[in-house]
Amino acid sequence: MDKDQVADILTEIGVLLELKGENPFKTRAYTNAARTLESLTEPLATLVAEDRLGTIKGIGDALQQKITELVTTGKLPYYEELKASLPPGLMEMLQIPGVGPKKVKALYDQLGLKSVPDLEAACRAGQIASLAGFGEKTQAKILEGIQFRRTYASRHLLVAGIKAADPLLEALREHPDVIRCGTAGSLRRSKEVIGDVDFLASSKHPSHVLDYFVSQPGVISVSAKGDTKASVILTGGIQADLRVVSDVEYPFALAYFTGSKEHNIVMRQRAIQRGLRLNEYGLFRSAEETRDPALRVECRTEEEIYAALDLAFIPPELREDHGEFAAAEGPGFPRLIEWSDLRGSLHNHSTYSDGHDSLEAIATHIQELGCDYWAVTDHSKSSVQARGLDPARLREEISQIKTINQKLADEGEDFRLLSGTEVDILKDRLDFDDDLLSELEVVVASLHAGFSADEAENTKRIIRAAENPFVHMLGHLTGRLLLEREPYKVNQQAVIDACAETGTWIELNANPRRFDMDWRLWPYAKSKGVKCVINCDAHRMEHAGYLRLGAGMARKGWLTKADIINTLPLSQLRKALQWKRSR
């Protein structure tokens, strides 16, 4: 065991002794010894081997013995026994802000609380407030701390990160001392789920920028603040880092902190092969690690860094070491899809099923947004919980859509609603028969309920849906809900092959909880010639904004405008909707 591992155990012993109510001198001896070890300049093993531990101030006989035991055997029965004598949940209780060993001991001794869930329940029952030394305020604070920890310790949807980051980025842009700024990390790479948000800024006065940043309204607490970096918790419990660098360093820091780690490793290797060193501070003409400005290869932008390593610029979304280097060494990248290329969404809901808005309201609002078309694909009758339509209601909806479109035409508007359905894939058939499907302009087929635990069975059902000549596309292929529900089992590659065979499109569901089919599979689908449809699956008009997120995810899947059906203008879309039916 090295000194850091030993120090950690001594610190823990100190805490455990405090929880046991040992006298403060004894507990402090352990904590102090841990600090001393951490600042040692020579290896602990040497001190032990030469029997010199006793010469260090503050390490008495008992401690010498324990440290020696840890260094030589890697074990300490005294520590194991101490740990076993207390409920393991107590250590976790200590991680809640404002709850120290004294409080944990009181809670354990007086109320028998052994874990964070125990503590939460006691707070809710109002039992903490009446304990000596606690009170209402402390109780509320503990409860808040528990909830806080639960949220920010976890991972977050991309959309939550963007929502939290946008106002702060706006604020940074406005600050007079900020030269350049942006987001980095997984958010910039458009990962579907993120750990934390990374901001980067360049400035001549980092401390001004940091002071300003931590005092923004979106910042609910400051976890750490130094000369060039701050870590904070944003509204919604998302952790964020801001790093402030010089403007010369900015492009290098941006590339480094955008990652991914895997991408960075390849970049660094390429630099080394060229006799250079790449790190967060720069690209240096050097054979070893350095940050000497005199050796820096000047790059004003990320583009210039890639060029210096003989690479085409790699869009941030592709920096996952998923084949981007081969492309960047060769021909470079085609122009990836931009969200403004999208002209509408082909899977959406209205008040006919479980949507929030009426057909009229949808038509008015979506047209104002500048879309060319919007398919209304309400649920089919088996989706009872989503108020699925029976054939009669669906025909009623088709007729109302015709009326609305007629009115639009009379007013000289080009925008159109498209009639459709999101038809349930049932065990051995689709929820509507082919006659009815043939009356609809857009048919999305989705597996909603009753999927099997058997991958082969699910795959078979979905492929059968793809084989139906009236099904244009498959909706949310795996049914996953990010951070909530695992995907059901399905052989996605086999489904893609079947879609290639039958001329069926696959949805990229742009709902930020879904992003399904996953970006990792799109390069394969593309190689098979399977087209993508980026759909909002809107249940409210505001969900039209998902198109932007969906485009980010499609970029991550290497897709271009030509790969995506809903970039087509209405007349061409109508033709495309006939392809499969006329085969």
- 431 touches 380 (CB < 8 A): yes
**Other C-beta atoms lying within 10 Å of the C-beta of residue 293:** 12
422 touches Ca ion (CB under 5 A): no
Buried b (16+ CB within 10 A) or exposed e, 538-572: bbebebbbbbebbbbbbbbbbbbeebbbbbbeeee
Residue 239 interacting partner from Zn ion, Ca ion, ligand DGT, none (CB closer than 5 to 8 Å by kind): none
- Options 185, 282, 316, 475; binder of Ca ion; rule CB under 5 A: 185
Q: Residues 187-206: x/- map of binding to Ca ion (CB under 5 A)?
A: ---------x-x--------
DSSP secondary structure, 381-431, as one string: TT-GGGTPBPHHHHHHHHHHHHHHHHHHHHTT---EEEEEEEEEB-SSSBS
Q: What is the Cα–Cα distance from 447 to 370, expressed in whole angstroms?
A: 31
Give yes or no for a cis peptide into 260 (omega within 30° of 0).
yes
479 touches ligand DGT (CB under 6 A): no
Please report how close the Cβ of residue 422 comes to Zn ion at its closest, in angstroms. Answer: 5
Residues 6+ apart with CB under 8 A from 557: 508, 519, 520, 521, 522, 523, 526, 532
| Structure tokens that stand for 419 in this block | 């009639």
Residue 69 interacting partner from Zn ion, ligand DGT, Ca ion, none (CB closer than 5 to 8 Å by kind): none
Q: At what angle do helices 546-556 and 158-174 cross, to 10 degrees?
A: 100
Please report how close the Cβ of residue 185 comes to Ca ion at its closest, in angstroms. Answer: 3
With tokens 């109320």, the residue in question is: 111
| Structure tokens that stand for 47 in this block | 């001190």
H-only helix segments in 477-565? 492-502, 522-527, 546-556
- Options 192, 198, 422, 441; binder of Zn ion; rule CB under 5 A: 422
- Options 264, 380, 492, 535; binder of ligand DGT; rule CB under 6 A: 264
Whichever of 196 and 422 has its CB closer to Zn ion, that residue is: 422
- Using the contact rule CB under 5 A, the part of the chain among 160-168, 321-329, 419-427, 548-556 near Zn ion is 419-427
Whichever of 196 and 372 has its CB closer to ligand DGT, that residue is: 196
Please report how close the Cβ of residue 191 comes to ligand DGT at its closest, in angstroms. Answer: 6
- Options 52, 124, 261, 335; binder of ligand DGT; rule CB under 6 A: 261
Q: What is the Cα–Cα distance from 101 to 22, expressed in whole angstroms?
A: 11
Q: Considering only residues 192-221, where is the footprint of ligand DGT by CB under 6 A?
A: 194-196, 198
| Structure tokens that stand for 136 in this block | 């209402």
Whichever of 66 and 191 has its CB closer to ligand DGT, that residue is: 191
Beta-bridge partner residues of 221: 233
Residue 202 interacting partner from Zn ion, Ca ion, ligand DGT, none (CB closer than 5 to 8 Å by kind): none
Q: What is the Cα–Cα distance from 320 to 264, expressed in whole angstroms?
A: 9
Please report how close the Cβ of residue 188 comes to Ca ion at its closest, in angstroms. Answer: 9
Q: Residues 58-97: x/- map of binding to Ca ion (CB under 5 A)?
A: ----------------------------------------
> 133-136 contacts: CB < 8 A, separation 24 or more?
133/103, 133/106, 134/103, 134/106
Q: Residues 240-259: x/- map of binding to ligand DGT (CB under 6 A)?
A: ----------------xx-x
Residue 175 Ramachandran class (φ > 0 left, ψ -120 to 50 alpha, else beta): beta
Residue nearest to ligand DGT (CB): 259
241 touches Ca ion (CB under 5 A): yes
Whichever of 8 and 354 has its CB closer to Zn ion, that residue is: 354
Whichever of 241 and 341 has its CB closer to Ca ion, that residue is: 241
Q: Residues 506-545: x/- map of binding to Zn ion (CB under 5 A)?
A: -------------------------------x--------
**Other C-beta atoms lying within 10 Å of the C-beta of residue 272:** 12
Q: What is the Cα–Cα distance from 574 to 570, expressed in whole angstroms?
A: 6
Whichever of 311 and 544 has its CB closer to ligand DGT, that residue is: 311
Please report how close the Cβ of residue 257 comes to ligand DGT at its closest, in angstroms. Answer: 4
Per residue, what are the HEC states of 173-208?
Answer: HHCCCEEEEEEEHHHHCCCCEECCEEEEEEECCHHH
With tokens 């207390």, the residue in question is: 86
Whichever of 200 and 547 has its CB closer to Ca ion, that residue is: 200
272 touches ligand DGT (CB under 6 A): no
The size of the interface with ligand DGT (CB under 6 A), counted in residues, is 14
Q: Using CB under 6 A, list all residues that contact ligand DGT.
A: 185-186, 191, 194-196, 198, 256-257, 259-261, 264-265
Q: Using CB under 5 A, list all residues that contact Zn ion.
A: 422, 537
Q: Using CB under 5 A, list all residues that contact Ca ion.
A: 185-186, 196, 198, 241
